[in-house]
Structure 1
């Protein structure tokens, strides 16, 4: 009975957020209505490159969780995930220290608490442009809190799926290469995977995407090559398959992981695959927050230390 009430509440919230938008897509494997879809409105400017500007990608130290701040060279900002519930204030504080006032693009890769737990705090604190999430739902309090924050801010949820462009401006692009399907048994495979291109450099942010999602990305023919790979699912052996790693061919990899976590992440198999591929690995449990800076040609790395 309690589960039915929770499901009904989530459905009501989704319908409220949906007001005025189309929502004819497929339902998810959870049996509840998916988040609504709003028309995509990427920024497009084919004429102007961004000479002298840099792209910064911050992999925040949020323990056994994910949160990534992307500062685009045109001054806009994107936040991909926001850690666990208790990480909300820490993420907000970090963003403020970077001088952030507006999150132009907010991405919740998938509705697990260690990815969206702090997102409601972020939504309440900052001006928010567009919100992207995959068409996956859960009955958790964390997911409901995000929906409430979106509704109370008068925002809509745009569907994150392969082929959706976030922005496209000259030599700067950000777009989703996954999820590629509309039904997954494992919620991790719903992860919104973002590829960012700036000049000759690229980043691939994979959330918790596992082997099935990786295989779909490979089959899709999407360009997966990236200088920096955010390793899927905290370095679990279920992600970063040999074929996927070969296609991405990164110089650097980042594993967002908690010190002495209960899952044994990162798993040895993943570390071996990365080592055999000659990838330089950074880990938030050892290096703390890690910041990559790209001028469109070269990438530099800064370790900010443990939180």
Structure 2
């Protein structure tokens, strides 16, 4: 077959474009109602494999975050996770991980909602659960098999006597029955934890349980789940994405730990700006402090919140601070409960009502939605 110069040139353009796309980091901020769940996928290796990380596990049963996350993982062809990072133990961040009454379906258990296959896979007398399904204790020899989503490493803030919710107890049983569990609960563990995402990209722990990377001492007055949130910086060449669960930095009620500011110091000392900020605490007014925003200088701000949520997230004051910090776009997975913001905010605000997808080759990045529509079909009919 003889190729013309035009054909060869066209082939080279296709090859170069394909090679560039193959090296992209992809971050899917999942629309999961009033909660948080973010799929982070490193650039594909030569064999097509990539590091798959889920940061937080979604909403409670009202939105059934487990089903939403399961569908997103299936769409992306993710059959296992290298890391499942839990920022903290509030139910809107682990609701899709655990299962049973009040917590919907765990995406870890696949579509059959049970560890491994249906029935007693290993003939040890336990039908997927040690002591029956009501115990929420998975059979270690069955979980991770069949249609389950195996997890190599769970990463969390560690155990404290205060964490006694049913959702937390369910999470701990799951985490300790499958894979390795890594707890970022002290200064040394935060300072030393980093994930290689491939092709020079990485995910660096900046905070956990009130300890901030290379700070030397714990942030004062850390007491609540929000204040203990894990914070991670995703870096790929010149691209930087910051995600921190419900990390807070402004006094609100009993919360007054300035964790945001301490994380901001780390980023400022690195001499970088944050290209994309996954906004702390769903845009709640106890986060996104002006001093913090000035330190990290975010370009794009992404907010995950549920429509008509009872918390009124994102708060108007938070949106105003983001606009005043010269954020180029504030992008929301849903309207949330935004009430009345001024024209200044409206000019930079975008409501996707869907997943917010960020892709980057390290030099440039794009922000889009993963929603697709069938031709000649009105989804409202």
TM-score where L is the length of structure 1: 0.78
Shift of 1:142: 1.0
Contact 2:51 2:198 in 1 (8 A): no
Higher Rg: 2
CA RMSD across the alignment: 2.2
1:103 paired to 2:132? no
More contact order relative to length (CA 8 Å, sep ≥ 6):
1
- For the pair 1:82 / 2:57, whether they are aligned, the reply is yes
> Are residue 186 (structure 1) and residue 213 (structure 2) matched?
no
> Could you tell me how far apart the structure 1 residues matched to 2:309 and 2:371 are?
18
| 1:301 CA displacement | 1.1
Once the two structures are superposed, the pairs formed by residues 5-154 of structure 1 within 5 Å of their partners are 52-74=22-44, 75-85=50-60, 86-120=64-98, 121-124=106-109, 125-137=148-160, 138-153=163-178
CA separation in 2, counterparts of 1:219 and 1:198? 20
Aligned match for 1:304, one of 367, 370, 377? 370
Greater share of residues in helix:
1
1: CA distance between counterparts of 2:68 and 2:56? Answer: 13
Equivalent residue number for residue 173 of structure 1: 202
1: distance between equivalents of 2:239 and 2:289? Answer: 22
Q: Aligned partners of 1:104, 1:215: CA distance in 2, in Å? A: 30
Where does structure 1 lack aligned partners over 5 or more consecutive residues? Answer: 1-49
Following superposition, the deviation at residue 170 of structure 1 comes to: 5.5
Q: For this pair of structures, how many residues does the alignment match?
A: 257
User: Contact 2:155–2:181 at 8 Å: present in 1 too?
Assistant: yes
Does 1:277 find its partner at 2:325? Answer: yes
Q: CA deviation at 1:136?
A: 4.5
Call closer, same or farther: CA 1:168–1:256 in 2, change over 3 Å: closer
- Asked if the contact 2:207/2:230 (under 8 Å) is kept, the reply is yes
Q: 309, 333, 341: which is aligned to 1:261? A: 309
Aligned equivalents of 1:158, 1:214: Cα separation in 2: 23
The answer on 1:251 being equivalent to 2:299 is: yes
**In 2, Cα distance between the equivalents of 1:185 and 1:234?**
20
Q: For residues 7-41 of structure 1, give each alpha carbon's deviation from its aligned partner in whole angstroms, at most 9, with x where no partner exists.
A: xxxxxxxxxxxxxxxxxxxxxxxxxxxxxxxxxxx
Q: Which runs of 4+ in 1 moved over 4 A?
A: 219-222
Q: Which has the higher strand share?
A: 1
Q: 1:92: how far off?
A: 1.1
TM-score (norm 2): 0.63
- Alignment deviations for residues 228-253 of structure 1 (CA, whole Å, 9 cap, x no partner): 00000010111011111112111101
CA displacement 1:103-140 (0-9 Å, x = unmatched): 11110000000001112324332121111001254111
